[in-house]
Amino acid sequence: MRFYKNFSDAQNEIKRDLAELGVNVHTETMQAIYIADRPEFETKELVNYIYTVTDPDFSMIDGVHEEWLKQEWEDRISGGLNPGFAWKKRREIWEPLMYEKDKVVDTGKFDYTYSQRMGGVHINSVIDELKVHPHSRQLFIPVWDRQLDESRRGKRRVPCSLGYWLVQRGGELHMTYMMRSCDFVTHFGNDVALASILLHYIAKQTNFAVGHFTHFVGSLHAYRKDLADVF
């Protein structure tokens, strides 16, 4: 595992790793959309990728959509929203995913939202527990829902994020952000920024300093259609 001082250093090295060490693969689906016959979705991929940033200042993250980020955080902290409001800031990305698979009728909702899965009371429960048991090893905000997501695989969208584990040591609050999958070009910067914002928020609510940010990604990847803009 590599350690970096800040997100800027980390992103530069991660991009180089993906370009030099990434293995070519072509999966059958992407967000439950069939892509096996679409060459533009051939993928450069690193599996089980992990790194740590010791000073996780989210303002140093590249490729962030500022308007979407602000609204998505507000949606998440509110809790329970579907579709919420952030999707309107990036309609080209999110509006197509509001359609049910194999249908052309707009349901007006997504298969899931992070506001529903982790927002509101879920975040607050970790804050409350941290105040009572500051050395707990049980501080986890889950996103993956076994009862829902295991039956949806390959059929409907399931979360790319698995969850967030937090631990306080020596007055510093550390986070490990676990993802099963991350598109380096389209979503990496925004996903990492939101996780870092969450770490800062919980640290502030519990009067701890912000510690290290560790990120594990099962599949870190970039699609052929986007490579020219990155490498």
Please, what sign has the CA dihedral across residues 190, 9, 60, 120?
positive
Residue 9, C-beta contacts closer than 8 angstroms, at least 6 positions apart: none
Whether 231 shows a pLDDT value over 70: the answer reads: yes
CATH topology of domain 2-227: Thymidylate Synthase; Chain A (3.30.572)
Model pLDDT, residue 228: 84
**Nearest-angstrom CA–CA distance, 4 and 55:** 8
**Nearest-angstrom CA–CA distance, 147 and 113:** 16
Model pLDDT, residue 230: 77
Model pLDDT, residue 154: 77
Residue 173, class by beta-carbon neighbours within 10 Å (0-12 exposed, 13-18 middle, 19+ buried)? buried
**Nearest-angstrom CA–CA distance, 100 and 137:** 39
Q: Which band of pLDDT confidence, cut at 50, 70 and 90, is reported for residue 31?
A: confident
Of 106 and 28, the structure prediction assigns the larger pLDDT to 28
Identity of the residue numbered 90? R
Whether 179 shows a pLDDT value over 90: the answer reads: yes
